[in-house]
Amino acid sequence: MNDLETIFHPRSIALVGVSRKASNSGGGPDFLVGLTGRGFHEHRPLYLVNPNADEIAGLPCYPSLLDCPGPVDHVISLVPASVAPALVEQCGEKGVRSIHFFTAGFAESGEEAKAAAERDLIQGAREAGLRVIGPNCLGMYVPSDRISFNADFPEQSGPMFVLSQSGGNALSIIGGLGRRGARCSKGISFGNGRDINVPQLFEYAADDPESEIVVAYLEGIGDGRALFAALKHCAAKKPTIILKGGLSAGGAAAASSHTASLAGSAEVFDALCKQTGAMMVETLEELEDLVVALGTGARSVRGSEAKMLVTGGGYSVLAADAVARRGVTLPALTEPTRQTLRERIPVAGNSIRNPVDFSFVDDRDNAAGPIAEVMALAPEGDMLLITTPFVVRAQTSGSEASPEDHEGLTKRDQETLELLARLQRESERPVMVVDRGWSPMGGSESSPELLQAAYENGIGIYPSMERAARAVELLLTWRRRRGGLPEII
Amino acid sequence: MNDLETIFHPRSIALVGVSRKASNSGGGPDFLVGLTGRGFHEHRPLYLVNPNADEIAGLPCYPSLLDCPGPVDHVISLVPASVAPALVEQCGEKGVRSIHFFTAGFAESGEEAKAAAERDLIQGAREAGLRVIGPNCLGMYVPSDRISFNADFPEQSGPMFVLSQSGGNALSIIGGLGRRGARCSKGISFGNGRDINVPQLFEYAADDPESEIVVAYLEGIGDGRALFAALKHCAAKKPTIILKGGLSAGGAAAASSHTASLAGSAEVFDALCKQTGAMMVETLEELEDLVVALGTGARSVRGSEAKMLVTGGGYSVLAADAVARRGVTLPALTEPTRQTLRERIPVAGNSIRNPVDFSFVDDRDNAAGPIAEVMALAPEGDMLLITTPFVVRAQTSGSEASPEDHEGLTKRDQETLELLARLQRESERPVMVVDRGWSPMGGSESSPELLQAAYENGIGIYPSMERAARAVELLLTWRRRRGGLPEII
């Protein structure tokens, strides 16, 4: 545990350079709303610094950091780059422990003078005894301490530690995974990362008892040796997922403009992940799906053979092709399994091969559960991929809420989730749900309540068969590549 | 032109075996709603045949096909497979021209007795002078004639001809593309395709003056020689896109269960497309995006270098990586272009490299247009990939409707589309829009009105940078592979 622990838990915060404009959600990120919306100021001192305002959002403003009436642990800097050195000096005087520079306009500009200003700024901070987050970033998200740089992030804590050089991608990761049920211990957007950097954050996450899954969006590799050691430490203890931006020439140029990062090659990065036991993903979608898989029963998948239960013949053909692209194959069902299915599924319009299609069954809503049970408990395959229950759900979602419904879930949803959780437990193999309605072209999406309830029941819901299968492929590849490292899931 | 022309335009239809159950939308496909919802029966005779009902949905029922009081051109069969041969006999007696069997339970069951019954059925139909659609399918969608097998399909006609062995995938293709603005001349789901088959449909589409783009979902190859000749005829005249299901072992097994198709190998199919000049796609998403590209300015793309204009630094890095995976690269901007951009985009938090990121600009809403203009008209690159205007739109979508708004579009949306259409025209290179809000994880989607208006203005909207780039890659690959074939777009 390094001194980051105290930085993640400041006893007081000053927002310096905050303005009325920054306090409404129309413009850029809104630290004030993130803090006051969570009630940070009701429990710990929150000071606003703005020489041109008496109050903002009902809180008093002070003309300078030095005028704040109590000690300040952490400063969030919204001042222009030209004023940043003076603020650092004041921080030293005030005894501040850490400063987060939302302030940008340093090395990422590509201008040597601005890169030099950044070096001077960090040097000044060191001399003032200050740790620096950034510059050019959104800073900390610590739900247990009511600190958030976004008003929409979950209020609950969970086991996921998120580190991201990009603020926008931190928003996508924490927000997107939040909607799918995953919760954070801490998140940090650290931009150019000139002081608090990637290796330190991996070291911290490795030892943090609140964090069980580590998720990183990186642009630069920085000190390769330190990164290797920290990643090895972290990935040996906890599933550690890395999305590396800038692996293409265009992406590397963008990364240089974005966080002044030297991106490094895809080969080097892949080797780094392989040697340290980390998991590498290529897109935000893969990252999300893999976290969902790690947070649910899919984490224990041991092989690449799937049983698939769907409605829709054409869909079943393309779904089988899609999972095959990700290395997931569909074994033939044994005769006893087919026999049991034949008793429940008529011939016309259906199929009892794998994929099993039961589009045309009387009272399909009530037939779905027993058919899923036959499929899950049959001895074939390493997992069950299923679209059915939620297709049923979508079809009945127009119905009136019943008295047993609560928290946005229908009684049928609840029963379906309980059934799938039981089948996953009894079959000792993952049940993964694909929501066919989850189409970017419109149509029904799973409600946030359903996604979260499913996740909490250990059932991951994925947007497509291919994405579910890709999560399995990533898990299996990772397991195979870990060599002598300890089994951690 | 073969006799399919008359089949697509029946002067009267009988729905045989229609029941009350089939007339509400709770169960399977609803031909009755598809026909009455469009008012087919207000213009041409629509007969319902059901011996156990006097009327359904306000229309009289007749005890048998032979009791219908006028001539019947086309029959839609909803009867069980066991009754199908008797219905064919009656069709012969009644002078019916064509029959569509929604009826399933034939060769696709994998049972030899049922395959034999299908052969006998087709033989009987030939003897009765009947053409057969199916069995095991959803039949025809002809918007100009108010025939639809789905109540939600567009009512307007357009230049797209859709043929699909799968009814479900026909729904996905016509419905999904309908939401994105593309419209059909005709669509046909033909299932097992034992009489009216793939080659005949390609031949028809090739010569149909109402059809300019041909889109096919196929499972079986059938008579390879006939398919080759028909596809060559069609693809030489019109852009012809094929999604081939069953290219994996699992998918081929599913295709066999679904439409009794022998799927053939990926290599054979790829060679077929290459030699005939057709376009091959691997997923429904690729199919949709390619049709959108062909229906908008992107059709004329000539190279793989893109300018990219976005908001969001981390997004810009991953977007550059994503398009690179699809062969689209980002050339450096020339010094004059950078100079012009620098006048409009401040340093801090932004980038004037390619991708250009203007997250932090005063009054971004109004800055977006002029910056897009600079980017589009700059000499670099073969296309402009842009997220900006619709991000702006999403941010302002909560505002009150203004008096100038109409048809679900804000005045700003309309102005943005007009601007992009003008820039596409003046730059003589495609402008492709990526809607960052278009996320399966929630967030705003483009409204159907916006998607359609954009399409009609020649501007395609894509769900992600990678999908937009993939459409470009497919177009460029197709052009390169056409060899000596005529330039048709």
Helix (H, G, I), strand (E, B) or coil at B336: helix
Q: Which residues contact B487 (CB under 8 A, 6 or more apart)?
A: none
Q: State CA B262 to chain mean position distance.
A: 24
Q: From its phi and psi, is residue A222 left (phi > 0), alpha (psi between -120 and 50) or beta?
A: left
- Give the model's confidence band at A22: pLDDT under 50 very low, under 70 low, under 90 confident, else very high: low
- Residues B248, A176: C-beta atoms closer than 8 Å: no
Q: Which residues contact B1 (CB under 8 A, 6 or more apart)?
A: B204, B207, B208
**pLDDT per position as a tens digit, B333-369:** 999 999 999 999 988 888 999 999 998 888 777 888 9
The H helix count followed by the E strand count for chain A is 19, 18
The DSSP secondary-structure symbol of B279 reads: E
What local confidence, expressed as pLDDT, does residue A304 receive?
98
Helices (H), A27-156: 31-36, 40-43, 84-94, 112-127
Phi, psi of A58 (to 5 degrees): 80, 0
What local confidence, expressed as pLDDT, does residue A393 receive?
54
Residue type, B161: F
Distance CA A170, CA A185 (A): 14
- Residues B248, A320: C-beta atoms closer than 8 Å: yes
* Cβ atoms A259, A192 nearer than 8 A: yes
- Does pLDDT of A324 surpass 50? yes
List chain A residues with CB under 8 Å of B325. 248, 282
Distance CA A147, CA A145 (A): 5
* Cβ atoms A413, A453 nearer than 8 A: yes
Q: Which two tokens stand for residue B295?
A: 């229906």
The ipTM estimated for the assembled molecules is: 0.92
CA distances from B242 to B269, B277, B288, B354 (A): 10, 11, 11, 34
Task: Please state whether the peptide bond connecting residue A135 to the residue before it is cis, i.e. omega within 30 degrees of 0.
Answer: yes
What value does the mean pLDDT take over residues B291-304?
Answer: 97
Phi, psi of A244 (to 5 degrees): -105, 115
List chain B residues with CB under 8 Å of A320. 246, 248, 250-251, 253-254
- Residues composing chain A: 489
Distance CA A462, CA A384 (A): 13
Alpha-carbon Rg of chain A, whole angstroms? 25
Q: Which residues contact A270 (CB under 8 A, 6 or more apart)?
A: A280
As beta bridge partners, residue A61 has A48
CA distances from B199 to A6, A30, A188, A229, B160 (A): 72, 60, 58, 62, 17
Phi, psi of B307 (to 5 degrees): -95, 145
Q: Using CB atoms, which residue from B104, B179, B329 is nearest to A249? A: B329
Distance CA A293, CA A300 (A): 9
Residue with tokens 């829709």: A312
What local confidence, expressed as pLDDT, does residue B90 receive?
98
**pLDDT per position as a tens digit, A144-184:** 999 999 988 999 999 999 999 999 999 999 999 998 999 99
Residue with tokens 């177009």: B475
Q: Which residues contact A101 (CB under 8 A, 6 or more apart)?
A: A77, A84, A121, A132, A133, A134, A135, A136, A137, A191
Q: Using CB atoms, which residue from B109, B324, B442 is nearest to A251? A: B324
Distance CA A19, CA A317 (A): 57
Q: Which two tokens stand for residue A403?
A: 């008295």
Q: Give A280: exposed, middle or buried? Use CB within 10 Å, 0-12, 13-18, 19+.
A: buried
- Residues B257, A353: C-beta atoms closer than 8 Å: yes
Q: Using CB atoms, which residue from A105, A312, A321 is nearest to B347? A: A105
**pLDDT per position as a tens digit, B8-19:** 999 999 999 998
Distance CA A134, CA A104 (A): 9
As beta bridge partners, residue A309 has A356, A386
Distance CA A313, CA A296 (A): 29
**pLDDT per position as a tens digit, A392-446:** 554 444 445 555 666 678 888 888 899 999 999 999 999 999 987 654 434 445 7
The DSSP secondary-structure symbol of B411 reads: H
- The DSSP H or E segment spanning B465 is helix B465-481
* Cβ atoms A423, A377 nearer than 8 A: yes
As beta bridge partners, residue B215 has B162, B241
- Does pLDDT of B129 surpass 70? yes
Helix (H, G, I), strand (E, B) or coil at A64: coil
Q: Using CB atoms, which residue from B114, B258, B357 is nearest to A351? A: B258
List chain A residues with CB under 8 Å of B438. 440
Q: Which two tokens stand for residue B64?
A: 């048998």
Q: What is the dihedral of CA B328, B332, B333, B335, to 10 degrees?
A: -170
What local confidence, expressed as pLDDT, does residue A128 receive?
95
What value does the mean pLDDT take over residues B434-450?
Answer: 64
| B42 Cα to chain A: minimum distance (Å) | 31
* Cβ atoms A340, A415 nearer than 8 A: no
Distance CA B189, CA B165 (A): 5
As beta bridge partners, residue B161 has B186, B214
The DSSP secondary-structure symbol of B409 reads: B
List chain B residues with CB under 8 Å of A258. 313-314, 316-317, 351, 357
What local confidence, expressed as pLDDT, does residue A410 receive?
80
Of the listed ranges A30-39, A225-234, B134-143, the least confidently predicted one is A30-39
Distance CA A164, CA A134 (A): 11
- Does pLDDT of B413 surpass 90? no
Q: Which of A290, A275, A237, A270 is nearest to A483 (CA)?
A: A275
Q: Sign of the C-alpha dihedral, residues A74, A80, A81, A82?
A: negative
Helices (H), A83-215: 84-94, 112-127, 167-179, 198-207
- Does pLDDT of B445 surpass 80? no
What does DSSP say about strands B383-386 and B306-310: parallel, antiparallel, or unpaired?
parallel
What local confidence, expressed as pLDDT, does residue B258 receive?
86
Residue type, B467: R
- Does pLDDT of B217 surpass 50? yes
* Cβ atoms B97, B73 nearer than 8 A: yes
What does DSSP say about strands B59-62 and B279-281: parallel, antiparallel, or unpaired?
unpaired
**pLDDT per position as a tens digit, A335-359:** 999 999 999 998 888 899 999 999 8
From first CA to last CA, the distance across chain B in angstroms is: 23
Distance CA B267, CA B275 (A): 12
Q: State CA B278 to chain mean position distance.
A: 16
* Cβ atoms A309, A388 nearer than 8 A: yes
Phi, psi of A390 (to 5 degrees): -85, -20
What value does the mean pLDDT take over residues B110-135?
Answer: 96
The DSSP secondary-structure symbol of A246 reads: -
- Does pLDDT of B28 surpass 80? no
What local confidence, expressed as pLDDT, does residue A57 receive?
87
Query: Where is mean pLDDT largest: A48-57, A84-93, A413-422?
Result: A84-93
Q: Which residues contact B29 (CB under 8 A, 6 or more apart)?
A: B102, B138, B149, B150, B167
Q: Which of A199, A168, A123, A307 is nearest to B313 (CA)?
A: A168
Instruction: Determine the residue among A318, A326, A341 to mutate to test chain B binding: the one whose Cβ has the most chain B Cβ atoms within 10 Å.
Output: A318
In this prediction the pTM is: 0.93
Q: Using CB atoms, which residue from A180, A316, A442 is nearest to B445? A: A442
Residue pairs between chains A and B whose CB atoms are closer than 8 Å = 243
Distance CA A111, CA B346 (A): 13
The DSSP secondary-structure symbol of A143 reads: G
Q: Which two tokens stand for residue B285?
A: 């998403």
- Residues A255, B317: C-beta atoms closer than 8 Å: yes
What local confidence, expressed as pLDDT, does residue A390 receive?
61
